[in-house]
Every structure is written in C-alpha cells, then in structure tokens.
Structure 1
Amino acid sequence: MLPENDLNIVTKEMGREPNLVEQGCFLNLWSEHCSYRSSAPLLKTFTTTGDRVIIGPGDDAAIIRFGNGWALAVGMESHNHPSYVDPYNGAATGVGGIVRDIISMGARPIALMDPLYFGPLDNPKNLYLFEHIIEGIAGYGNCIGVPVVRGEALFDESYSGNPLVNVVCVGLAREENIVTASAQKAGNKLILMGSTTGRDGLGGASFASRDLSESSEAEDRPSIQIGDPFTEKLLIEATLEAIGEGYVKACRDLGAAGLAGASSEMASKGNLGMKIIADNVILRETGMTPYEILIAESQERMLLEVDPDDVQAVLDIAAKYDLNASLIGELTEDLSYTVMFKGEVAASIPVKLLTEGAPTFERPSTEPAPRDAGEKPEMPEDLKQAILDILSSHNVASKKWIYRQYDHEVQLRTVAKPGDDAGVLRIDGNEGIALSCGCNPKHTLLDPYQGGKGTVIENAMNLAVKGAYGIALVDCLNFGNPEKADIYWQFKQAILGLGDGARELSIPVVGGNVSLYNESEEFKTAIAPTPSIGLIGYTEDVTIAPSGVFTKEGDTIILVGTTKDELGGSEYYRTIGKREYGMAPAVPENVSQIINSLIEAVKSKKVTASHDLSLGGLAAGLCEMCENMGATVDLSDIENDLRTDDLLFSESYARAIICTSEPAAVKELLKDVPHTVIGTVGGNELKISGKEFDVSISISEINKAKKSLLNLMME
C-alpha cells in the first residue's frame, strides 16, 4: 500500500495508522499524478495571471475572458500509460476526461487538439498503438460532437513502448454561468450524476505514476477506464442545463483518484469537510468495497454541490436525460473527510492532510557534461532527393490520414481546418480564436531550456501567421523518471525555458498537467523530453487569416526572420542518419518584435498566404505551400555565409514565409524585423537557387512525397 515514508507521515499527523481504505485514498491523492510532488516547486515559477485570466491553475480548467460577456475554458491532460496498455480506450477516455473538465466549469466544449507522439511505425507494436489511439480519439470525439481542429503527430524511437497521448479542450461559456470546484456552503448536498460506478480504472492515478514494463498490458488492464461517449453526450447536456438553471453551486469531474479525489478536493477548496454515504453510490457491479467505490475511475461521472431545496430538481434533470443520479453526501463545517458504509465509518481523514499534505520537493538534478556537437556532416550530393526524403518522412509528411478520421466541421465554427499552421474558430461575429499545440522534442533533448522556450515561440508563430496573438497557455509536461538526476535536470530546464518564453510574449500559463515516469523497460528507453503545450490566441477578425499555401500567381515571396547554422535536432539530420550532430536552435532576442510585426502585416489584409517554418526548414516550408502552384525562389541575397544545407534545412526559430501583391507596403509594416524578398509565386514547379546550387521539383513530385508511406500504409 502506502510507501513507508508516506505511511509514517500520515500516521504521525492522524495520531494512528490509517486503515486500508484510508491508505488507498492517500496512495492515489499523494501520487505524482495528483499531487505534483516532484514538480510543484518548479511549476510555481510560471506566471499564471493576466488581464484576461479569470481562473488560473488549480481548478478542473482555466477560465479566460474573451469579451462581450463570453469566457473560454481551457484544459490539457495526458493519458499516456493507459494508451499503451489499451490504446483505444486509453485514448478515448483521455478525450472524455478533458471534455468533462471543461463541462464542470459551466462551459460547452467547442474544440479539441491532440498532440501525439509515437515510436517508428516499422515496428508492428508501434503501428498497432498508432492506429488504435487515433481510432479511440476519433470514436469518442466524433460521437460527442466536439471537433478536433488541430493536432500533432511526431515519431521517434524514444516513444517505442511509451506513446504520448495529450489532449487539449477549449470550451465556451457566458461569464455569469461559470462555476468552480470550490465547495460553497456547509449543509449543501452532493449529487453523483452520470454512469454507474464499476471496478474499471481502479488505482489509475497511482498507475500513471510509475514506469511501464513488459507485463503492463496484463497486470494494468484493470487500471484502464472504459468510455461511453453516448453517456458523455447526455452528461454534457444535463450538467450544462443544471448549471444554467442555477442549481449547481460547485462542480467537479470524477477523474484521477475517482470519487475520493473529486469529493475531497471540492471540500478542501472550499475550506469545508464532507461526509460521504458510500452505500448511496449507484454501482455497476455487486460486492464492491468502500475502497473500490472511492478509488474507481469509472468514466462519465460528475459530482455536483446543490442546495437542499434543489436536489429533486437536479435529480429530475438527470432522469430527463436517462442518467443515473443519487444523493451521496453533504458538506460539513468539520474539516474531516468521512466515508460511511453500511452504518460504519470506513474512512475519517483530515481533509487538508489528504488534499494538501503530500510533501513536495525539488529532486537532485545533474547537468550532463557539455555536449560535443561533432564535425558538420558533408552535404548530400543530391539536394533534390534530400528535400524529397524530408517531405516523405513521417514527421513532415501530410497527416491527412489522421485528421480525416476526425469530424472537424461539427458546430460550424471552424474557419481554418486541420493541416494548417493553426486552427481558427469563430466565436462572436468575426471575432475568434486561433489554436496551436505541440513541441519539438528533438530540440528539447539537445537543449532543454532553449527547447522549452522554443516550444512557446513555435506555437506563437503558428498563431501569428493567422493574425492572432497568444492570450493563454496550457501545458502537458511529459518526461521520464524524475528520480534520475539527469531526467530531473531536463524537466527543470524545460520548465524554466517554457516559463521565460511565455513571459517574453506576455502569455500566462493558466493550467496543465505533468506526466512523469514515461519510461519503458521493454525498450530500455526514456522518452525524449516533451513539454507539449496548447496555445490559445485571439483574433479580432477570423476572415483575415491568410491561406497556408500559394494562392495567387505573381505574388512576392518574403522570408521573415533570420536563418542561422542551427541544424541540431533537425529533420534533415535525422533523414541523413546524423541526428547526433549539431546544436539545437536558440530563440532570437528580437522574437517578440518578429511576432508582433508579423501579426500587424497579416492584419493589414495585404498578406495573401503565410506559413510558419519549423520541421524541415525553408525547403520543407516552400514545398508545403506548393499545393496547387509553384514558385521561383532565389536565396543568393541571404547573408551570414551559410552553407547550402543551412539555408535549406535550418530550423531556426521565429521564421515565416509570407506572400503579398503589395511588397512595398508589407516591407514597411515589417520595418526593422529581418526580412528578405526571395521569389515569386507561379508555375507548376518549385525552383530554388542560390550562389552554389539550383534545384527544381514539380508539384506532382512534391505532393507524392508529402503523401508518404504514412498515408499509403494506412490506406
């Protein structure tokens, strides 16, 4: 049960040794997954407040002011370990859980994003995980009617045996309908509404806080929840109706640690106690013990605080939607978490000890020896083939097979669809939001600080090319075993970099999740450090968002930003088998100026097409824009004495391609931001030349490469 040190702390504080039910509560609520024991001190370095922040970290989701009485609910979660053991249900319930986090704040979910990370698909197990995780996300999201508008799919050997399934959800609410998870008043009643409670998901929180092993699939399958999206859809409507009628005083999704987690945290946040009658919980299976009733993570359940006079009205709403609901307890003045079962006390715990008593600490961290970047590899003799190889790599190639599984049109808000730099949604009139997600783990592996900082910059650039600026950030910090000093150093540096990048752009970090112990005994690997984020942007006019591909013959092509010899961690080095060489890109000092100038250029309505540069560098970015027409590009005027492969494949941060029919006006808007006119849109091929090279690739060759083995193997 409880680790010896934790047991000693609890015994001392309670004045007695906890019974088995109480130990189960502590085991789950004091787990790394729930209590952030290794990360809480580091997370406190984030700036979490801002003009738009109504509710920051600590609730089921953050609440951001949009305007005109509207508010956005934003959350991000992981379901990594469950998705390895049972990929379909693990991914599906990851979607279900983050959606309920949004509902519990009184918001209707309007968009999902899914940053995903897999091992190479030439491994049959990885291919199986990939296919069924995508199927799980699509199966759940499509059924509940929430569009998946953006995502990421990256492939690396380090994710073999430990795929990452991160999900972002955004919801919309009127400010007056917002509720929180903080209990309001002693004497108010607690209603558990939704699915019945079974033994599925037992110990899920503690399961998420340990390494995976070869035996995980068999041993840990009881820890995997089973989702029912049809019940979830009913729960969405019933919860929002009850909130809209003013019956709900506080609300909490039943996620990690099940009823024990949701109920004790609700009471603690309101500085109240709670009495639970476990007999009143509607069960799916006979003979369940109080331990199982409290800890089970059965899906599609919501805990509601209700005034005694409104209990019947809420039960009637549940019946209207054919949902189970029962009165299971009440809030008390006494700061005790008490559970009754068959007339006897099954648990009696000081509520603050349970929810806030887990010791947190910074673990020892060791910086590795300075890295030798090695000698710069020789350039490939066939540049055209090098470009095509990058385009056809799974990381760069079209992800159409993935996002065509998702319904991204439902709710009719989507303006920019999956496959673009950012998703764009209409919210109120022409005002809207832009959404981006993900990170570059290869950069973070080489330099955790710059990789963390670059994660913010890359996502902010995705918004900027659509004319939007970041207003809130949520994160999902995926790392290996924090008990290893080198892993904890990666974790710490990535957090510091992410925080500094967010501050530089004045974007508050309003919530998120930490997922540690992402290691696989089977493959003897820890994942690459993966500080994945979801970035929410605001745009005053969704109609100005430029296309991500060339659209107008004769347009001038402008490269914005500075290209440097920064090939470390690049897709180019990976494809030529030199992934261990080079230094990771560093974020430029003038990054905020670049982003702001780019946004102003787009807002002028003089930009016809725009595209952020990231994986594969300039060459890949130009090819991605050649969907229907080509371009003639001359890179001779770019200085810095760069080698040809630096020019074509560097992944320097804060760069973009923009196209315009009014180059003089756009150049004036860019002012002091580095930019170079590099070519003209037109023709049926992409011609790229420089001082020492000349490459021509037809549109058909580009499109064939972008389809790649990823799409062909899934047809």
Structure 2
Amino acid sequence: MSVDTTEHAAKTPDVEQPWAELGLKEDEYARIREILGRRPTGAELAMYSVMWSEHCSYKSSKVHLRQFGEKAPENDAMLVGIGENAGVVDIGQGYAVTFKVESHNHPSYIEPYQGAATGIGGIVRDILAMGARPVAVMDPLRFGAADHPDTRRVLPGVVAGIGGYGNCLGLPNIGGEIVFDPCYQGNPLVNALCVGVMKHEDIHLAKASGTGNKVILYGARTGGDGIGGVSVLASETFDAEGPSRRPAVQVGDPFQEKLLIECTLEVFAEDLVVGIQDLGGAGLSCATSELASAGSGGMRVELDTVPLRDATLSPEEILMSESQERMCAIVTPENTERFLEICEKWDVIATVIGEVTEGDRLEIFWRGEQIVDVIPGTVAHEGPVYERPFARPGWLDALQADDAARLARPANADALREQVLALVSSPNQAAKTWVTSQYDRYVLGNTVLAQPEDSGMIRVDEETNLGVAVATDGNGRYAKLDPYTGAQLALAEAYRNVAATGAVPLAVTDCLNFGSPEDPAVMWQFAEACRGLADGCQTLGTPVTGGNVSLYNQTGEQAIHPTPVVGVLGVIDDVTRRTPMAFTEDGQLLYLLGDTREEFGGSAWSQVVHDHLGGLPPRVDLERERLLGEILVNASRDGMIDAAHDLSDGGLVQAVVESCLKGGKGARLVVPDGLSAFTFLFSESAGRAVVAVPRSEEVRFNDMCGARGLPVTRIGVVDGDAVEVQGEFTLTLAELREANERTLPELFG
C-alpha cells in the first residue's frame, strides 16, 4: 500500500478524505487545509483530528476556563499552574506536591475494567511527568440507579479495574466518592485523581528544546488499542442503544507502569532529561506536537522506528494509538547512552525515534518519505475555539419552584426513626466498605487517613511529619437546580472536608462532567458552573491548578446532571495532630458549628423518602466556610477537639451515625431550641460541622468560636451504644450498622 506523503498531498488536492468519520466538522477540515496550504496527508489528518477533538483541545470550554486564570487569587504556593501535565504547589520544607483529576468516563462504560484501570494509569503518568513520585490515588465515581442491571455490569468492573491497577502499582487509594443516580445510566463518571511529591528542584516541564537533542520513546510497545479512544470517544454522544463508536479501549499493564515509574524517577535523579511528556489521549500525536510546540525549535521523527506490538499498523494508526505505559523524553546526545542504560536496567524498551531540529516544523517520516510537515502549535494549541450559544433552560423555573418544603414530613417520632433508617441504608449514604475493601489504602506506610474519613491524608516527610490532605466532592443534584451555586457547594464541601482533618486548604483541581456542548442548556450549565467555581476559588484563596473537562456525557437527548467534581488539597504541619471523624470516648461533648436552616432542595432526604428533585440548593456563604475552616484547623492544632465531621449529604444525622459507627460509641442528642427534630436531623445547610470536644477543652473551644463569631451549639454527648434523639427515638448501633453496611453487598456482592 502506498503511503500518502506530503508531496503526494500537494499534487492531489481533490482526494476524498474521511474527515467526518474522524470527528472533524466541515469548517474544521477547511481550516486545516488553509493552515497547510494544501490538503492534509492521512497522517496529518489523523493528528489534527485527535488533537482538535473536544477532549484534547477544549474547543467548547476554553472561553469559560479562562476565568480560572483571570480570577486566580494571589497565592505564593503556586509553582506550576494551568497548562502543564499537572499543577504544582509549594507545601514547605522544600517539598512540592502535584495533583490532578481526570476523567475516563466513556471508555469505562464500554469496557469497565480496562477503562477504569487505564484511567488510573494515565493520571499517574501525568503526575510522574512533572518530576514527582506518585504517592496516592483517589476515585470520584458516579453510576446509574443502584438496582439497575447495567449498574451491576459497570460498577464491579470499574472498582476491580481501579483496585487492580492501583494495587499492582503499590499506590494507596485514600478516598473518593460513589454516587448513584438514574441520570448517569449509560454515562457513568469515572474520575481519577493522583497526588505526587517532589523537591522544588525536581520539577520537570513538557518541552522539546536544544537542537540535536534526541527524542526517545520509552515504555510499552505501541499497539492497536485505543486508536481514537479517549480523544475521539470522549467527544462523542452515546445514542440510546449504546456507544455510537466502539473504538478499542486501551489495555493497561500495571507492572509495566511500575517499571516505567521507577525508571523515570532514576532518570530524573541523574538529571538526564531536558523535557518529558506522557503518552495519554492522542498518543504520539499529542506528545510530539506538544513537546515541539512548547520548545524552542522543531522536531524530526522517524515513525518506522517506533517499537510495535502489531506490525500491520499504518502510520496513521501509530500516531493515533493510545496504548498505555509510554512516555517521550528529550535527552541531550551526551546523556542518551546513560538514559538507554537505565531503561535497559529496568527492562523498559527505549528507542531514539527522532531529534530536535532548527526552525519551527514538526516533520514525521515513514520509511524515508515525509508524511507530516506542520507547525506543531497549529496541531497542539491552535485548534478551533467555539463560543457555543448558551441559554438558561426554560424548564429551570418550574424545577426551582417545585420546592422540597411542600413534601410530607414524618408525622411522628416513629416515622422520623424509620426515615433515619431509610436514609442511612440508601445506596448513596450506605457504607462503601464493599468497594474500598478492594483497594489497598495503606501500602507504602504513609497513609494517615483514608475513606471513610472526610479527606485522605498522606505523610510526606517521616522526620517532620509534614503531610497533605485531599478531598473530592460534587453534587449533581445541587448543580441541576443551580449550577453556579452547585459548583460553589462542591468547592465548599471539599474545602470543609480538608479543614475538618486539620489541614489548611491550599489549591484546587477540577473535573467538569457535563452533557453535549451543542445543547445551549448544557452549555449554560457549564458556563455557570465555571463562573461559580472561579468566583469561589477567588474568595477562598484556593487557585485552580489544572483539571479536566468531560463533555458529551449523555445518551440521546438525555444529559447527565451537571457534575463539577472539585478536588481540594491542603497541607498539615504535623500529621500526628490530625483530626479523625470517629467518636471514641464516652463523655466527649458534641457541638454543632454553623447555622441550620430549612434547606432541603436537592437533599438526600428528598431523594430517599420522596424520589424528588426540586427547589433551590442550600445557600453558600464562602466567608463563613473560610471562618469554619480556620476554626477547625486551629482547634485541631491546639488539641481542642477529638473528632470532627463535616455536614453535607444527609445532614446532621448522617454525620453523627457515621462518626458513631466508626468509633463504636453512641451519642445522645438534644434538639436545639428553635429547630424541629426533622430540620435538626435532615437539613443540608452548608458551612457546618459536628465536633467532639473533651470536657477539659469546653471553655477554651467556646471562647475561640465566640471571639471569631462562629455560631456554636452544644447538641449532645458521646455515650452508650445507641444514637438517641431525646424525646424522639433511639436506634442502637447494631441496628444502624446492619442498615448501613448491608446495602452494597446485597446489591453487588
């Protein structure tokens, strides 16, 4: 078969090309021809199609994402911001932490195990490419209705893939979320987060500089898996029967990735690399064009030197392949031999596939003939930018007017008791042990806190006990009711979760999961969520360091709830002073921090008891969130509290039950004056936490809250082996544990 060369392309302008099948629009194809001054070769068309896809180019979201830079708060901790493989923040003592969350939604629906496994593999390589050692992963997940047959197909495979890959890498899984909602039927959200640690001087960036420097591809051989996978698949809406495209989902090999990690860290330690990039979405097309675009010269690549698993692959397929466990490094000629020696030591295949050149062209050759001749920036960074039309959906007024306040409340104490049991046994509020027991949470020996704690926490330095805490949160029900407020509530909850463990919130990463950007209502939800998150980060002083956008999460006309997932990272000077969530000693005094209001729109109670979604979500007061965070951190550092748990989904009663079950101790609660027992237990007002205060610290703790102006109410005491709401009902811990822990095993076990 003859190869389509640049010379041939110039001479045959009228050759038909499959641009539409590759996901390009007619005007995009015309623009490529305009840039090149001729029709593209097949290889060039392949590169542009994957790099200009929604997943890689952010063409529908760029105009809104700019706010994260424009509104970024002043923050001395930020070392590397948006635009690199992952953001990097300074945590003190010469250490830096890099963290990022990304999506692998569509591949995980098609092939749950490999889709989820390679999602973990990809985010780990992003962190590795920054120069950091990966130290922990997290997994915010969303599935359809818990009792739907397809959820039973997808969830066990996703969980096994995350556990299988992460456990084999030897990385602890320290937290995440599992949420069930019919809106995710056919569009599960599999988001993966990784945290890495390095010294400041070890930061590496993705750029190809230095004429004559070698381009080295190392890691696994390139195969046919994932051709057009993440890049094209994530830019595609599923039809009602299932995926309209079923490209091969990438296949992961965690043992190969483990070798790649150790090999790369040794290469970094000997300072052998000028620039580095992992091969994820869009494979070699992405790595070569982005490295060359970010550098100071051009690049020449001999594509037929790429090690293959499948000798029948065409040049286009090699450029589009998303085979896993591969990286691309720029190495000086004098360091090349040593680089290859280290790769051989770790049994990692490494091949010089090209070099950095003078000028500004990315040239790729196949068997001596030129098949690509482009300015790399036009591939990597000059894709189309759409200002998609957006409009507030007409159905929103009726949805917001359908207030949860109209819903029937429990008529008596017995009904109240039954609704508490229904809540704590519902799939979203039930214990997630069936899932987390499949993950190794303590490998490496530095895990301080892990799920079900409010945030995961990792020790960074064994001598000083410096550590970081990370939490991810997002509530699609809130965001459906009001995407601006919903995004801020996700940020506020993750911020609160980090502060509840005693860490100071520092920076944000986000994964923005939405329906089709071609729907003006979805685009409005996206625009509002971005605006809400950017404004919220500005107020809280936590800059967005990077993240991911996942669009086209819908089946036919049915989009998922807008689901901005927000990850917050915080730093703690001494992990031995962290605050756990468990109530552990009789006599500890329970205090509620913050204001409780009649707020049930989007609440777990309205979903579990009435299958209802309507009204307005809880209001957000970010200054109050900041104050609450400061008090939780100071109380933790000064030993004033023994336990803390944020209040969010399910309200106070859910938090108290979780803390009681974790510590094996009961609690006696008294309903405060001015509140009904129902509102006290089920309200989801934001900016609240419940804390357990030792009696010796009661006066000091109250004085601190009073001096800072934070509402604080004594609501009970840790005592016995039941949760008792005085004057209402008693539920034994045995009853609560059985209700809370049986749900997921019955559904999936």
Distance 2:324 2:242 in 1: 21
C-alpha separation in 2, matches of 1:275 and 1:76? 32
Separation in structure 2 between the aligned mates of residue 75 and residue 621 of structure 1, nearest angstrom: 28
For 1:300, give the aligned amino acid: E
Match in the other structure for 2:710? 673
SS in 1 for 2:343: helix
Cα distance in 2, alignment partners of residues 578 and 322 from structure 1 = 55
Q: Which moved more, 1:29-38 or 1:573-582?
A: 573-582
CA contact (8 A) 2:101 2:510 kept: yes
**Distance in 1 between residues matched to 2:331 and 2:522, nearest whole Å:** 45
Which residue does 2:190 correspond to in 1? 165
Partners of 1:379 and 1:488 lie apart in 2 by 36
CA gap 1:216/1:25 in 2 versus in 1, 3 angstroms: farther
On the 8 A contact 2:276/2:329 being kept in 1, the answer is yes
Higher mean C-alpha displacement, 567-576 vs 537-546: 537-546
What SS does the corresponding residue of 1:657 show, helix, strand or coil?
Answer: strand
Q: Which residue of 2 aligns with 1:345?
A: 370
1:113 matched to 2:138: yes
Cα displacement (A) at 1:215: 5.7
Letter in 2 for 1:379: R
Match of 2:485 among 437, 446, 450: 450
**Residue equivalent to 2:51:** 29
For residue 398 of structure 1, give the secondary structure of its aligned residue in structure 2.
coil
1:326 equivalent in structure 2:
351
Distance 1:6 1:609 in 2: 56
Match of 1:561 among 594, 599, 606: 594
Match of 1:426 in 2: 459
Counterpart residue identity of residue 401, structure 2: D
- 2:10 corresponds in structure 1 to none
Q: Kindly provide the amino acid, as one letter, of the partner of residue 71 in structure 1.
A: A
Shift of 1:121: 2.3
What do residues 650-697 of structure 1 show as CA deviations (whole Å, max 9, x unaligned)? Answer: 1111110001122111111212101111111101211114xxx61211
Residue 287 of structure 1 and its aligned partner are, at CA, apart by 2.2
Aligned to 1:463: 498
The secondary structure found in structure 2 opposite 1:226 is coil
Distance 2:504 2:532 in 1: 20
Amino acid at match of 2:425: S
* Structure 1 outlier segments of 4+, above 4 Å: 214-219
C-alpha deviations, 1:280-324, integer Å up to 9, x for none?
100111122111111100000000000011111111111111111
Alignment partners' CA distance in 2, 1:55 and 1:649: 41
Aligned with 1:213 (options 221, 239, 246): 239
Count of aligned positions: 706
2:535 matches 1:508: no
Identity, % of aligned positions: 40
Find the aligned partners of 1:247 and 1:235 in 2 and give their Cα distance: 15
Q: 1:687 aligns with which of 707, 724, 727?
A: 724
Output the CA distance in 2 between the equivalents of 1:312 and 1:411: 32
Aligned to 2:689, which of 647, 656, 659?
656
Question: Quick one: which of 201, 207, 215 aligns to 1:182?
Answer: 207
Contact kept? 2:390, 2:523, Cα under 8 Å: yes
- Checking the alignment, whether the CA contact within 8 Å between 2:594 and 2:710 is kept in structure 1 is yes
TM superposition shift of 1:216: 4.8
8 Å contact kept, 1:615–1:651: yes
Question: Retained in 2: the 8 A contact 1:466–1:544?
Answer: no
| Runs of 5+ unmatched residues, structure 2 | 1-18
1:591 aligns with 2:625: yes
How far apart are 1:525 and its partner, in Å?
Answer: 2.3
CA contact (8 A) 2:227 2:247 kept: no
SS of the residue 1:44 aligns to: helix
Distance 1:199 1:69 in 2: 43
Change over 3 Å in CA distance of 1:519–1:655 after alignment to 2: same
Residue pair 1:552, 1:608 contacting (<8 A) in 2 also: no
Q: Which residue of 2 aligns with 1:546?
A: 579
Deviation digits for residues 120-173 of structure 1, max 9, x if unmatched? Answer: 121111111000000000000000111100110000000000100001100011
Aligned partner of residue 356 in structure 2, secondary structure: strand
Deviations 1:537-562 (A, max 9, x none): 11112112223121111111100011
Match of 1:635 in 2: 671
Q: Secondary structure at the match of 1:626?
A: helix
The alpha carbon displacement at 1:236 in A equals 0.4
CA distance in 1, matches of 2:260, 2:242: 32
Q: Where does residue 730 of structure 2 map in the other structure? A: 696
Unaligned 5+ segments in structure 1 are none
2:553 is the alignment partner of 1:518: yes
SS in 2 for 1:71: strand
Residue 746 of structure 2 is matched in structure 1 by 712
Residue 89 of structure 2 is aligned to residue 64 of structure 1: yes
> Are the counterparts in 1 of residues 481 and 614 from structure 2 also a CA contact under 8 Å?
no
Letter in 1 for 2:713: T
Q: Is the 8 Å Cα contact of residues 600 and 669 (structure 1) preserved in structure 2?
A: no
Say if 2:447 and 2:458, in contact at 8 Å, map to a contact too: yes
Report the residue type matching 2:481 in the other structure: L
Write the letter of the residue equivalent to 1:37. Answer: K
Contact 1:335 1:352 in 2 (8 A): no
Cα deviation code 1:412-445 (max 9, x no counterpart)? 1111122111111111222111110121111111
1:411 aligned counterpart, secondary structure: coil
Choose from 470, 494, 518 the match for 1:435.
470
Cα shift at 1:450? 0.6
Q: Distance in 2 between matches of 1:196 and 1:578?
A: 50
Residue 130 of structure 1 corresponds to which residue in structure 2? 155
Aligned match of 1:380 in 410, 430, 434? Answer: 410
Instruction: Tell me the secondary structure at the aligned position of residue 610 of structure 2.
Output: coil
Partner of 2:225: 200
1:109/1:171 contact within 8 Å kept: yes
- State the TM-score, normalized to the length of structure 1: 0.97
One-letter amino acid of the counterpart of residue 622, structure 1: V
Q: CA RMSD in A?
A: 1.4
Q: Which of residues 674, 680, 699 in structure 2 aligns to 1:647?
A: 680
The equivalent of 1:97 in structure 2 is 122
